[in-house]
Amino acid sequence: MKKILGLGNALTDILLQVSEDDLRELGLPKGSMNLIDLDTAMAVQSRFVSVRKTMVAGGSASNTINAISALGGKAAFIGKLGNDEIGEFYRADMERNGVKAFLLPSSLMSGCCTVLITPDGERTFCTYLGASSDLSPQDINAEAFSGYEIFHIEGYMLQNHALIEKAICLAKDMGLKVSLDLASYNVVSENLEFLHSLVKKYVDIVFANEDESYAYTQLPPDEAVKAISKECDIAVVKVGKKGSYVQQGEEQYHIGAITSKCLDSTGAGDLYAAGFLHGLSDEFDIRRCAEIGTLAAGRVVEIVGTKLSDETWDEIRRLCALYRGFNFRLGMGA
């Protein structure tokens, strides 16, 4: 089984269920990711002081890496934290999940993300990056990639061109496959030229949802996945309740979503990526990788947050074991 290394914003998620009126009054486009300063973060949280909160260690790549570890994969994560209570909570959560964490220290307050969840399950992010924004190209060296085969990075890091380019170049130099989750349609739009160049030169696997793929290609999902696959080895476009499209070369599949009652879509894309990459680490074909990702994503939308129960993880692990046995019978993979 291949080892997977992630790089991303080390953020603690604060999950709040709100109304669409709340979003309008705050001037926040539904489904967007908004970078905010500390004062704004405190103001947003104060507005919802009486609303029940759920706090979990989060961040897109972190969610993916934690889920890979829960599935039995070998995973590690690079991030940056402040010396504070939120940072300690985050560090302890990673250790509980069995992730090998390279969490660098910062003088800034640990980052947090207030996730505003509307009744339809859509989530809008108000992100105070804090210490995570302190991660710099100087923090990354070739040694960090030694012993890993897949490098997964979140698109939210695209705001820091120098950091993401150095990390990806080092990963490629060390022989790793590079996986990139586009993360948010507005991040894609704001970094479009840089992103296309990055994908064409260095990226092997691209994950996008329908809005992100449209921002990237101006095409509908089934055509967008084809266009993206011409720039990299494997392209994945997720279309919510309609499932996902996955393409490698001329091989394209549409995988239907499982039946789920969507309570909160936070982490759905992250867990899809986790299931898919975990399958790749076991050398499954892209269809089976997508089916594992689909099951993980379908289960996480049924809860608030990204922490699945042991029983649910067992269900996903059983599917992985089934495919592992299939590969073994064919004399393929691990």
- Other Cβ atoms closer than 10 A to 197: 12
Contact of 238 with 244, CB cutoff 8 Å: yes
Would you say residue 334 has pLDDT above 50? no
Quote the longest CA-to-CA distance of the chain: 59
Of 298, 57, 11, 305, whose CA–CA distance to 156 is shortest? 11
What does the angle CA 214 – CA 217 – CA 222 come to, to the nearest 5 degrees? 70
pLDDT interval class at 191 (50, 70, 90)? very high
Cα angle for residues 185, 188, 190 (degrees, 5° grid)? 110
* Tokens 């586009």 found at: 182
DSSP one-letter code for 76 = E
Q: What is the pLDDT of residues 213-225, one digit of tens each?
A: 999 999 999 999 9
CATH architecture of 4-11+59-110+129-330: 3-Layer(aba) Sandwich (3.40)
> Is pLDDT above 90 for 234?
yes
Least confident of 67-81, 111-125, 189-203: 111-125
Sequence spans of domains, the chain: 4-11+59-110+129-330
Looking at the chain, the whole-number percentage of residues with pLDDT higher than 70 is: 97
pTM assigned to the model? 0.88
Q: Smallest Cα–Cα separation from 111: which of 186, 61, 48?
A: 61
